Amino acid sequence: MIGNLPYIAVAIFIGLGIYTLMFKKNLIKIAIGVCLIENGVNLFLITLGYKKGAIAPIYTQAPSGQAMVLPTPQALTLTSIVIGIATTALILSVAMMIYKHYGTLDTDQVRRLRG
Amino acid sequence: MKEMSRIVKTVTNFVYGFIIIFGFYIIAHGHLTPGGGFQGGAVVGSAFALLLVSYGSLNSNKFLKKDIFSLFENFGLTLFIVLGFSGLGITFFYNFLANSGSWFGDAAVIGINPGDMNTGGVIPLMNIAVGLEVLSAFGVILLTMARGAEFTKKKENS
Amino acid sequence: MNLSNHIPILIIAIPLLAAFLVPLIGRINKKATGILTTLALSVSLIFTIALAVKILTVGPQVYVFGATSPSLTLPSGLKFPIRIMLQIDAMSIFMGLITAVISFFGAIYSLSFIKKYDGVDKYYSLLLLLTVGMFGMEFTGDIFNFFVFLEIASIASVALISFRGVDYGEPAEAGFKYMMVSSISALMVLFAVGIFYGQYDLLNFAAIASMIKYSQLDKIALGLLIPVLAMKAGAVPMHMWTPDAYSEAPAPITMILVAASQASLYALFRIVFSLYNISLNALTVGWIIIIFGLLSMFIGVTMAIVQKDIKRLMAYHAVSQTGYMLLGVGVGLAVLANPVALQKYGITAMEGGIFHIMNHAMYKGLLFLTAGALFFRTGTRDLNKMGGLAHYMKYTTIFFIIGAAAIAGLPPFNGFASKLLIYESVYRFNPLLSIIAMVVSILTLASFVKVFHSAFLGPKLPQFKEVKEVPRSMVFAMAVLSCIIIFFGLFPDLIVKNLVHPAVMSLIEQLQYTGTVLGGM
Give the SS3 label for residue C262.
helix
d(CA C272, CA C105): 31
d(CA C225, CA C228): 5
Residues of C in contact with B95 (CB under 8 A): 66
Identify the band that residue B61 occupies on the pLDDT scale cut at 50, 70 and 90.
confident
Residues of C in contact with A94 (CB under 8 A): 158, 162, 165, 172, 175-176, 179
Neighbours of B153 (CB within 10 A): 11
Task: Count H helices and E strands in chain A, helices first.
Answer: 3, 0
Give the SS3 label for residue C63.
strand
Q: Which of C302, C250, C215 is nearest to C116 (CA)?
A: C250
Q: State which amino acid sits at residue A42.
A: N
**Is the preceding peptide bond at C462 cis, omega within 30 degrees of 0?**
no
Identify the band that residue C378 occupies on the pLDDT scale cut at 50, 70 and 90.
confident
Nearest to C66 among B71, B74, B91 (CB): B91
- Which residues of A, range 51-80, sit inside 8 Å of B by Cβ? 56, 58-62, 64, 78
| Chain-chain contact of A101 with C169 (C-beta, under 8 angstroms) | yes
Q: What is the separation of C-alpha C144 from the centre of its chain, rounded to a whole number of angstroms?
A: 20
Sign of CA dihedral A36, A38, A40, A42: negative
Residues of B with CB under 8 A from a CB of A: 32-34, 38-39, 42, 111-115, 141, 144-145, 148-149, 151-152, 155
The packing angle between helices B6-28 and B37-55, to 10°, is: 170
Task: Output phi, psi for A112, to 5 deg.
Answer: -75, -20
The answer as to whether C509 is a domain residue is no
| Chain-chain contact of C66 with B93 (C-beta, under 8 angstroms) | yes
Give how far A54 is from chain B: nearest CA, Å. 15
* Residue ranges per structural domain of chain B: 6-157
pLDDT in tens, B65-86: 889 999 999 999 999 999 988 8
Percent of chain C with pLDDT over 90: 57
Which distant-in-sequence residues (6+ apart) come within 8 Å of C200 by Cβ?
A: C207, C208, C211, C212
d(CA C459, CA C99): 39
| Chain-chain contact of C194 with A21 (C-beta, under 8 angstroms) | no
β-pairing verdict for C85-88 and C61-64: antiparallel
Give the SS3 label for residue C6.
coil
Give how far A41 is from chain C: nearest CA, Å. 6
- A17 lies in which domain range? 2-51+69-102
CB C347 within 8 A of CB C329: no
Percent of chain C with pLDDT over 70: 99
Identify the band that residue A20 occupies on the pLDDT scale cut at 50, 70 and 90.
very high
The C-alpha angle C258, C262, C266, rounded to 5 degrees, equals 170
The answer as to whether C188 is a domain residue is no
Q: Once rounded to an integer, what is the mean pLDDT over residues A51-74?
A: 85
For chain C, give the mean pLDDT: 90
pLDDT in tens, C175-230: 999 999 999 999 999 999 999 999 988 899 888 988 888 888 999 999 999 999 99
d(CA C206, CA B102): 38
d(CA C201, CA C182): 27
The answer as to whether C198 is a domain residue is no
CB C133 within 8 A of CB C150: yes
Percent of chain A with pLDDT over 90: 61
pLDDT in tens, C403-448: 999 998 888 888 888 999 999 999 988 899 999 999 999 999 999 9
Task: Count H helices and E strands in chain C, helices first.
Answer: 21, 2
Percent of chain B with pLDDT over 70: 99
With a cut of 80, say whether residue C389 has pLDDT above it: yes
Q: Once rounded to an integer, what is the mean pLDDT over residues A8-27?
A: 94
For chain B, give the mean pLDDT: 88
Element at C271 (helix H, strand E): none
Give how far A115 is from chain B: nearest CA, Å. 30
pLDDT in tens, A81-98: 999 999 999 999 999 999
CB C238 within 8 A of CB C184: no
The answer as to whether C219 is a domain residue is no
The domain that contains A38 carries what CATH number?
A: 1.10.287.3510
**B61 burial via Cβ count (<10 Å: 0-12, 13-18, 19+):** middle
Identify the band that residue C353 occupies on the pLDDT scale cut at 50, 70 and 90.
very high
The predicted pLDDT at position C236 comes to: 83
The domain total for chain C is 1
d(CA B32, CA A54): 19
With a cut of 60, say whether residue C1 has pLDDT above it: no
Give the SS3 label for residue B56.
coil
d(CA C436, CA C440): 6
- Integer-rounded Cα Rg, in Å, for chain B is 19
Q: Once rounded to an integer, what is the mean pLDDT over residues C304-328?
A: 92
Residues of B in contact with A100 (CB under 8 A): 148, 151-152, 155
DSSP C79-94: SS--S-EEEE-HHHHH
Nearest to B93 among C17, C24, C65 (CB): C65
The predicted pLDDT at position C117 comes to: 87
**C469 burial via Cβ count (<10 Å: 0-12, 13-18, 19+):** middle
Q: Once rounded to an integer, what is the mean pLDDT over residues C304-330?
A: 92
Residues of C in contact with B74 (CB under 8 A): 20-21, 23-24
| Chain-chain contact of C307 with A115 (C-beta, under 8 angstroms) | yes
Phi-psi region of A103 (alpha: psi -120 to 50; beta: other; left: phi over 0): left
Higher-scoring residue by pLDDT: A115, B54 = B54
Question: Model ipTM?
Answer: 0.95
Give how far B4 is from chain C: nearest CA, Å. 31
Nearest to C173 among A21, A80, A98 (CB): A98
Residues of B with CB under 8 A from a CB of C: 70-71, 74, 77-78, 81-82, 84-85, 87-95
| Chain-chain contact of C173 with A87 (C-beta, under 8 angstroms) | no
Report how far apart the first and last C-alpha atoms of chain C are (Å, whole number): 30
Q: Which of B73, B90, B92 to mutate to test the interface with C (most CBs of C within 10 A)?
A: B92
Please tell me which chains touch B, using 3 or more CB pairs under 8 Å as the contact test: A, C
The answer as to whether A32 is a domain residue is yes
Size of interface B-C (CB pairs under 8 A): 48
Contacts of range A70-74, beta carbons closer than 8 Å, 24 or more positions apart: A72/C197, A72/C203, A73/A45, A73/A46, A73/A48, A73/A49, A73/C194, A73/C197, A74/A46, A74/A49
Buried b (16+ CB within 10 A) or exposed e, C196-207: bbebbebbbbbb
Give how far A47 is from chain C: nearest CA, Å. 10
Q: Which of C12-26, C380-394, C435-449 has the lowest mean pLDDT?
A: C380-394
pLDDT in tens, C250-283: 999 999 999 999 999 999 999 998 888 777 888 8
The predicted pLDDT at position A42 comes to: 95
| Chain-chain contact of A110 with C162 (C-beta, under 8 angstroms) | no
C67 touches chain B (CB under 8 A): yes
With a cut of 50, say whether residue C521 has pLDDT above it: no
d(CA B100, CA B115): 18
CB A58 within 8 A of CB B110: no
The predicted pLDDT at position B158 comes to: 66
The C-alpha angle B88, C267, B84, rounded to 5 degrees, equals 15
CB C471 within 8 A of CB C112: yes
Give how far B7 is from chain C: nearest CA, Å. 39
- C440 lies in which domain range? 281-490
